[in-house]
Chains A and B, each alone.
Chain A
Amino acid sequence: MARKPQFGPGTSVVAENRRRQMDPSRRLSVIRNVTEEDIVLLLGHRAPGSAYPIAHPPLAEQQEPDCPMRRLVSPTEGAKAGDRVRYIQFADSMFNAPCQPYQRTYVEMYRFRGIDPGTLSGRQIVECRERDLEKYSKELIETDLFDPARSGLRGATVHGHSLRLSEDGMMFDALQRCILDRDGIVKYVKDQVGVPLDRHVSVGKPMDEDWLKQKSTIFHSLVGTPLRNDPEYIEYLQRIHSLRTKYGFLPREG
């Protein structure tokens, strides 16, 4: 019997947003435009316009062993070219940021190929081949997975996701990688690890509170949708909690 993936439980807007982001058959809406050169600047792994440094010769130039797995799985563009493995890391505010670390990993695993995500409570890193990374980063920044004020590109010194926001509504950043300029547009003045950029990189205007509340993927009892308002989600969580606790005692059948 063909099964249709559910992606997650819940009846609340948060649960629906989580499913919408995870489902690869549904397109993410592009709400800002950031050029490829700007993405390269933000990542800080290579100079814009320079060649991709390689970790190994392109696959076409080397003898590959006869392997059924290699016949089955086609390499990504970055793997074909022998690119280095590089990363992008995000921190997402608990104040209704459109995506959250665990959610990011689910989204990327459903939508992208050849990635290695690392998930922590306040940040999420994803590693992959460099030219794949630039393509994925563009999608992660341009779509509604990202908000200029509540999400941040932070390769290091990520602290801020659980703090109160700054006066101007921006998430706290000890390195102040991006600023809310006088024209109301958020501009990155440093790359993701805190190296000052030669020019500012604009990532658009912060979204308003209503939009954030409607697009958020985190439950928040004070500023967003409380988890208690979603009994189906609670039932699912309690079931998982119960099963894994019981399994801790290694129950025997019969």
Chain B
Amino acid sequence: MADVPEFPQCRIVPMRLLGADTTRRLLDRLATVHGVRRILLNGQNLPSTVPYGPSRGLANVHPQRKKIRVLGTEFDLRVQVGSLVLEVEDKSIIDEVRSLCEDFFTDFSCYVQEGRFMKTRPSLTDYARYGPLPDPAVIGLSDPNRKEDPVFLTEPTGCRGDL
């Protein structure tokens, strides 16, 4: 298998779970940072129907589960975001992200960790889903069992950010 270039990664962990509006505002700012290649949203699933109990199957009306629009692209937010994993072009971008977060989170704190938080090489499951030559842009971004593809954002300047 050809070598896949590896880029630095960081993880933003706020002290509170983020609502949909806060997530949208944060993504609006992160997605316009030059050098942010990919963003992965992690959080608690908000099911569309009640999954267990006597009311199983009933529609689950949840105010945090809704469509949000980032850089002109609308997509469904299905989780209450607990952390964001970013893949960036180089390490200097992480400092930029850190200062952005310090400005953004005023009501509660957050920390930005450096490390490796999403996989960069295809696994067996990726092979089963995408075949022998998967697009490196989707590896580690989405659950291979999911039907939907990642969301691709186009910045006004022309660089591409993936959510």
Contact = CB atoms under 8 A, between A and B. Distances in A.
A157 B60 CA distance: 12
A163 interface: yes
Interface range on chain A (Cβ under 8 Å from partner): 20 to 34
B54 A164 contact: no
Nearest to B15: A164
Interface range on chain B (Cβ under 8 Å from partner): 20 to 34
A183 interface: no
Contacts of A122: none
Contacts of B46: 174
A234 interface: no
Contacts of A76: none
Which interface residue of B15, B16, B107 has the most chain A CB atoms within 10 A?
B16
Interface of B: 14-19, 22, 44-47, 50-56, 58, 60-64, 80, 82, 107-108
21 contacts: A156-B55, A157-B50, A157-B53, A159-B44, A164-B14, A164-B17, A165-B17, A167-B18, A167-B107, A172-B17, A174-B46, A174-B51, A174-B60, A174-B62, A175-B50, A175-B60, A176-B62, A176-B63, A193-B53, A195-B54, A196-B61
Given A168-B19, A172-B44, A194-B58, 7 more contacts: A156-B50, A156-B53, A166-B80, A174-B46, A174-B51, A176-B64, A194-B53
